[in-house]
Amino acid sequence: MEKLSLFLGCIVPNRYPGIEKATKFCLEKLDIDVSDLPEASCCPAPGVFKSFDKATWLALASRNIVLSEKLERDILTVCNGCYGSLADANLELKKDPELMACTNRCLKEIGMEFKGTVEVRHIIEFLYKEVGPEELKEYITTPLDLNVALHYGCHLIKPSRDRKLGETEAPVFFDELVEATGAKSVDYTDKMMCCGAGGGVRSGHAVESLKMLEHKLACIRQAGVDCIVNACPFCHLQFDRGQLAVNEKFGTDYSIPVLHYSQLLGLALGFSPYELGIEQNAIQNIEFLAKIYEISAGLR
């Protein structure tokens, strides 16, 4: 299916609208047919709902999927958490008729029926498979002379049995998309490690979550990069707002800019940090912004 609906989830529209704006800019430039998905709710958050009750998790996820089925569009997510919830639920329901019947009994209460007619896509795997890094390069107007610490996040690629995006210890497809913008994806210690936010840990065990984040940040700082790039607003929130919390908790002085891939690509497509909401981040790094404006003005 070529047509997509944009599933916003919670953190993008309600905390980091810059990612919403950047995603819409990029998809328009790439001439990808994407619509809104009105009335969609929380995916629902896998760390809590999938950990609480499977039937409720499936019901809420399938309601979101049905909204897109009605539009005859595949769902596009820009969040690993939403991708995990929606793609997992979609797959489980499609392969288990009994589970589908059970979920449809709940959906019937609100006059809905899950049919299993659409796919759930993540913007990174979508861009990689349907556009490809080579073709993407042709759209780039502002090659980015940046060193980037790429964070894949967990649920984009795992469980690999279901994602089918290759092996998970040292994947490269996302790095290729980053490098298509002209940036360099710098290797760093524990690159594939979790940001520490998922599974309800950020909300339930804040200090432990920040300890994991601090370890990631230390590894990233050692690599000497310009910014962190992610594909998940929850990782984004953990890296951005979490940095301030880490500084407060552990007396550190991290100030590493954090960009969602849509925002990185947006810069390379000629949009400004202001238009992409990068300046709305909790981390305000003037040096980084100055560098971006210099790149955009052709001074670097």
Q: Which residues bind another protein (CB under 8 A)?
A: 8, 10-11, 13-15, 17-18, 20-21, 36-42, 44-56, 59-60, 63, 106-107, 109-110, 154-155, 158-160, 168-169, 190, 192-194, 196-201, 203-205, 208-209, 211-212, 215, 275, 277, 280
Longest Cα–Cα distance in the chain: 61
Q: Minimal distance in Å, beta carbon 70 to another protein?
A: 13
Q: Minimal distance in Å, beta carbon 89 to another protein?
A: 13
Choice between 93 and 183, CB closer to another protein: 93
Choice between 27 and 136, CB closer to another protein: 27
Q: Minimal distance in Å, beta carbon 138 to another protein?
A: 27
What whole-number distance in Å separates Cα of residue 20 and Cα of residue 22?
6
What whole-number distance in Å separates Cα of residue 126 and Cα of residue 300?
31
Choice between 59 and 228, CB closer to another protein: 59
Q: Which residue has the tokens 């980084």?
A: 288
197 phi-psi bin (left φ>0, alpha ψ -120 to 50, beta other): alpha
Residue 165: what residue type?
L
> Is residue 227 a contact partner of residue 146, using CB atoms and an 8 Å limit?
yes
Q: Minimal distance in Å, beta carbon 68 to another protein?
A: 13
Choice between 109 and 138, CB closer to another protein: 109
Choice between 47 and 257, CB closer to another protein: 47
SS3 category, 260: strand
Is the C-alpha dihedral spanning 266, 272, 273, 275 positive or negative?
negative
Q: Minimal distance in Å, beta carbon 79 to another protein?
A: 11
> Is residue 176 a contact partner of residue 219, using CB atoms and an 8 Å limit?
no
Q: Minimal distance in Å, beta carbon 100 to another protein?
A: 15
Choice between 124 and 183, CB closer to another protein: 124
> Is residue 76 a contact partner of residue 118, using CB atoms and an 8 Å limit?
no
Q: Minimal distance in Å, beta carbon 298 to another protein?
A: 25
**Rounded to the nearest 10 degrees, how much is the dihedral formed by the CA atoms of 158, 283, 266, 224?**
-70
Q: Which two tokens stand for residue 2?
A: 């070529």
Q: Do the strands 258-260 and 227-230 form a parallel or antiparallel pair, or are they unpaired?
A: parallel
Choice between 46 and 257, CB closer to another protein: 46
